[in-house]
Amino acid sequence: MSAASARRLLRIPAVPLAILIGVLLGALLILASGRNPLTAYSAILVGALAPENLPDTLNWAVPLVGMTLVAALPLRGGMVNLGGDGQLVVGALVAALVPLYLPAPGPVAAVAVILAAMLAAGAYASLAARGETRFGIPMLISSLLLSYPAVGIASYVVGFPLRDTTTGLAQTVMIPASVRLPAITGPLNIGLFLMAAVGAAVVFFDRRTVAGYELRMRGLNARFAGYGGVRLASQTVRIMFASGAIAGLVGAIIVLGSQYRYQDGALVTPGYTWSGLMAALLAGGEPLAAIGAGAFFAALQTGGFAMQRETAIPRVLTMVLQAIIILFLAIRHGVGRRSS
């Protein structure tokens, strides 16, 4: 290709170019397996965006965008929360167990349960923050390491002491119908509105509040923020608490809105946490862009399910595409912990 056309290629904005590269490499993979990339991609598009499929896509987007916000909020301040799985699980467990013992009328109980889940998950996330502020353990490591015990203990709890012995699976007893989140259409429930509200709140926080300004400055230069009077230690704990609380909300929405119980593994297996992390990294922590990226990945993954049903191409291909996109952007365009 000539020098002039190469320059033109480089001037295409980074994200579409990254998606293009991902699509091309993915097509190569599909071809190598002897299948047709075009049928695969059209299956993804239809599966994600056709009107009859939208409720499914949105339902998948709720937890995924939620976990994107979980990662994006600390990332805006240059902090990395890798413990989303553990926080999610804590919130979900609380949401699955509290209704069984709470003698309150339906909607009140639901609100109380959601708040409890958010508080519990937020508190768990702030443990990782304290690991850094008090012990100097980088949050990157401590948040991740705390995730495993949370998942493990939850797995034990629902597998043994609090197990629903009437079914054969490791799960809790179903929550009473009065607490469950009302459905909108199909699998979609009002959790969508809850998450939309949280998303709006995060964007508002980032753009209009003093604390949002302080967080953004910290992300650009933490020493500058500290020099300017920002209380870094308490900011770390507060932001991590908020981050964990959002994860707790995600867990609560899944339990109260879709599964009506805590099923061992059902929260971690879909990989919301890691996809959300990737979307947040893509956006450099900027909330609106992160939400957009999260929605994009949700569509990609839902489409992937449809693709697997129609064409038998494994849906993990969409995970591969996601990884390629983020890697391309990380390598070529300096995407990362600091907004470029």
Confirm or reject binding of residue 222 to other proteins (CB under 8 A): yes
Cα–Cα distance measured from residue 17 to residue 81, given in angstroms and rounded to the nearest whole number: 28
Query: Rounded to the nearest whole angstrom, what is the least distance from the CB of residue 181 to other proteins in the complex?
Result: 28
**Orientation of helix 139-159 relative to helix 106-135, angle to 10°:** 140
Selected range binding other proteins among 59-67, 94-102, 274-282, 287-295, rule: CB under 8 A: 274-282
Q: Measuring CA to CA, how many Å separate 302 from each of 44, 48, 102, 130, 270?
A: 7, 5, 35, 37, 11
Cα–Cα distance measured from residue 190 to residue 58, given in angstroms and rounded to the nearest whole number: 11
Comparison of 189 and 302: residue with beta carbon closer to other proteins: 302
* Region 223-242 residues binding other proteins, contact defined as CB under 8 A: 223-233, 236
Closest CA to 120 of 265, 266, 249: 249
Confirm or reject binding of residue 210 to other proteins (CB under 8 A): yes
* Region 168-207 residues binding other proteins, contact defined as CB under 8 A: none
Cα–Cα distance measured from residue 287 to residue 212, given in angstroms and rounded to the nearest whole number: 11
Confirm or reject binding of residue 327 to other proteins (CB under 8 A): yes
Q: Measuring CA to CA, how many Å separate 109 from each of 41, 95, 149, 254, 260?
A: 44, 10, 28, 16, 14
Q: Please return the burial class of 20, using the count of CB atoms within 10 Å of its CB with bins 0-12, 13-18 and 19+.
A: middle
Bridge partners of 263, per DSSP, are 171
Confirm or reject binding of residue 41 to other proteins (CB under 8 A): no
Dig out the tokens for 223 from the structure.
């020493």
Q: Binding pattern to other proteins, positions 78-107, x when CB under 8 A?
A: x-x---------------------------
Residue reference for tokens 């400055």: 217
103: which DSSP letter? Answer: -
Query: Rounded to the nearest whole angstrom, what is the least distance from the CB of residue 24 to other proteins in the complex?
Result: 15
Query: Rounded to the nearest whole angstrom, what is the least distance from the CB of residue 260 to other proteins in the complex?
Result: 23
Query: Rounded to the nearest whole angstrom, what is the least distance from the CB of residue 202 to other proteins in the complex?
Result: 15
Confirm or reject binding of residue 274 to other proteins (CB under 8 A): yes
Query: Rounded to the nearest whole angstrom, what is the least distance from the CB of residue 128 to other proteins in the complex?
Result: 10
Comparison of 119 and 217: residue with beta carbon closer to other proteins: 217
Binding test (CB under 8 A) with other proteins, winner from 58, 117, 278, 306: 278
Confirm or reject binding of residue 24 to other proteins (CB under 8 A): no
Q: Binding pattern to other proteins, positions 129-168, x when CB under 8 A?
A: --xxxxxxxx-xxx-xxx-xx--xx-xx--xx--------
Binding test (CB under 8 A) with other proteins, winner from 108, 169, 196, 316: 316
H/E element, 188: strand 188-189
Number of amino acids touching other proteins (CB under 8 A): 74
Binding test (CB under 8 A) with other proteins, winner from 9, 197, 200, 220: 220
Closest CA to 142 of 154, 131, 155, 156: 131
